[in-house]
A and B are shown apart, each in its own frame.
Chain A
Amino acid sequence: MKILQEYAGALTNFEVLDFLRSRGAGKDPTRLIAGIAPSEYKVYDYLEQTAASTQTRDIAIEFVQKCKEYNLAKAEILNILNIRPSCEAALYPIIEDWDIRFSVEEGKEEEELGLLKTICQVLPPPPSVMESGEGIGVEEEDNPDEQQKKAVE
């Protein structure tokens, strides 16, 4: 066995889900007829629970175009697509140098909230949120928490 290219491309979660669906993963209730192995079904089950299951190709393209104004790295955009953070705290571990890029100047805080709004508007919420019918109350709940979390650091 020879490894020709260790890294031949990255795939977001929803592309993997799309690939599995195109082979017939979601259509077969018995899970025996479609030519998909049990280990692949486990991946399919995991991805169905994440935010990727409600995304489509058009949504992803639209999101990428809207993100151009925020100067995000490729990997950060892909990470946001995979995780779909719905509050500021969830964005902290994804975006590097958060303090330098977003919070130092006051003008930049609007950018950070703008990014969150874009995420909430463009990307559909993950399945568990949709089932329980929770609202996506972003800014109001988190501001007091955000100051506390900053105090820890």
Chain B
Amino acid sequence: MVTLIVCFLLDLNYEMPRTCSIVCQVEIATLDQREMFCLSEIEHTLRLPPHLLNLPLAEAIKGELEGLFLDKVIAKLGLCISLYDIRSIDGGFIFPGDGASTYTVRFRLLMFRPFLGEVISARLKESSSTGLRLSLGFFDDIYIPRALLPSPSHDEPDPEDKNQVRWIWEFNEQNYPIDGMDEIRFRVHSIQYPSLPLEQDDGSKPFAPMLITGSLDADGLGPIAWWV
């Protein structure tokens, strides 16, 4: 099974001839900002359970790695979206007393890790008096606190839903509401990876291993309908 390994890495000093594909080297030292999706190379020692011995090796390892990493947050690296490719598989030793073989695998994971200052479109999920919560479908823990909404804004109880609150931005004596219709563009303010809590009360929010705090406080941010 051949996976396409084509990356779109730009180099401003390099003249791209028309016929070449988009595979160029990037100078990582000069690249301060990153992108929403990036690759991370990982090495992991994997135990392959014996019931997978009938599968071709690459497939069995891919299945195990996906079960381990997919849709999980790795601290400082972000949310793992997908296994991009497997670079090398070493080992295959069987330790004494164990029926399974152990492999050392090097592979690349496709991670979701937005950089600070990046502009992303998301949908409104919840709106409360402390701020907004946005969702990307695959990632829901994006919060816009009250302080980072465009100023001045005020909130009013939502006529449709008693528990929710609607935020309205006042600009030039016009009211611009934030309703759930459009996509909302926000800028990433900070990303935190809180550590696992020791105890959790019932009824509190489920633990979020990766929290993105966004800001709407600049031109061009907010619902797209405000600016078109």
Residues of A that sit less than 8 Å from B by CB: 1-13, 15-16, 19-20, 22, 37, 39-40, 42-43, 45-46, 49-50, 57, 60-61, 64-65, 68, 73-75, 77-79, 82-83, 85-87, 89-94, 141, 145, 148-149, 152-153
Once the chains bind, are B137 and A42 in contact (CB under 8 Å)? yes
What residues on B are CB-neighbors of A57 within 8 Å?
21-22
- How long is the Cα–Cα vector from A37 to B43 in the complex, in angstroms? 22
Once the chains bind, are B37 and A11 in contact (CB under 8 Å)? yes
Residues of B that sit less than 8 Å from A by CB: 3-4, 6-10, 12, 16, 21-22, 26, 28, 31-45, 66, 70-71, 76-77, 81-82, 84, 106, 108, 110, 112, 115, 118-119, 121, 136-138, 171-172, 183, 185, 187, 218-221, 224, 227-228
23 contacts between A and B (CB under 8 A): A7-B34, A7-B39, A8-B40, A9-B9, A9-B26, A10-B9, A10-B34, A10-B35, A10-B37, A11-B38, A12-B35, A20-B82, A37-B71, A42-B138, A73-B33, A74-B10, A74-B33, A85-B220, A89-B227, A93-B218, A94-B119, A94-B220, A141-B228
- Nearest B residue to A20 via CB reads B82
Q: A8-B38, A16-B81 are in contact. Are A1 and B43 (CB under 8 A)?
A: yes
What residues on B are CB-neighbors of A152 within 8 Å?
171, 219
Residue of A3, A46, A91 touching B77 (CB-CB under 8 A): A3
- How long is the Cα–Cα vector from A73 to B22 in the complex, in angstroms? 18
Once the chains bind, are A89 and B70 in contact (CB under 8 Å)? no
- How long is the Cα–Cα vector from A12 to B10 in the complex, in angstroms? 11
- Nearest B residue to A43 via CB reads B138
Q: A19-B84, A90-B185, A91-B220 are in contact. Are A9 and B39 (CB under 8 A)?
A: yes
Q: A16-B110, A57-B22, A79-B119 are in contact. Are A40 and B82 (CB under 8 A)?
A: yes
The 5 closest A-B pairs by CB, nearest first: A10-B35, A42-B138, A75-B33, A39-B71, A5-B41
Once the chains bind, are A65 and B38 in contact (CB under 8 Å)? no
Residue of B3, B9, B40, B227 touching A6 (CB-CB under 8 A): B40
Least distance between B182 CB and chain A CB atoms (Å): 9
Residue of B38, B106, B220 touching A9 (CB-CB under 8 A): B38
- How long is the Cα–Cα vector from A57 to B19 in the complex, in angstroms? 12
Residue of B41, B71, B110 touching A19 (CB-CB under 8 A): B110
- How long is the Cα–Cα vector from A90 to B183 in the complex, in angstroms? 13
Beyond A2-B43, A92-B220, 7 extra complex contacts between A and B, CB < 8 Å: A1-B43, A5-B40, A10-B37, A19-B82, A43-B81, A60-B8, A60-B22
- How long is the Cα–Cα vector from A77 to B31 in the complex, in angstroms? 13
Once the chains bind, are A75 and B35 in contact (CB under 8 Å)? yes
- Nearest B residue to A128 via CB reads B183
Residue of A9, A22, A43 touching B137 (CB-CB under 8 A): A43
What residues on A are CB-neighbors of B183 within 8 Å?
49
Once the chains bind, are B137 and A93 in contact (CB under 8 Å)? no
- Nearest B residue to A83 via CB reads B119
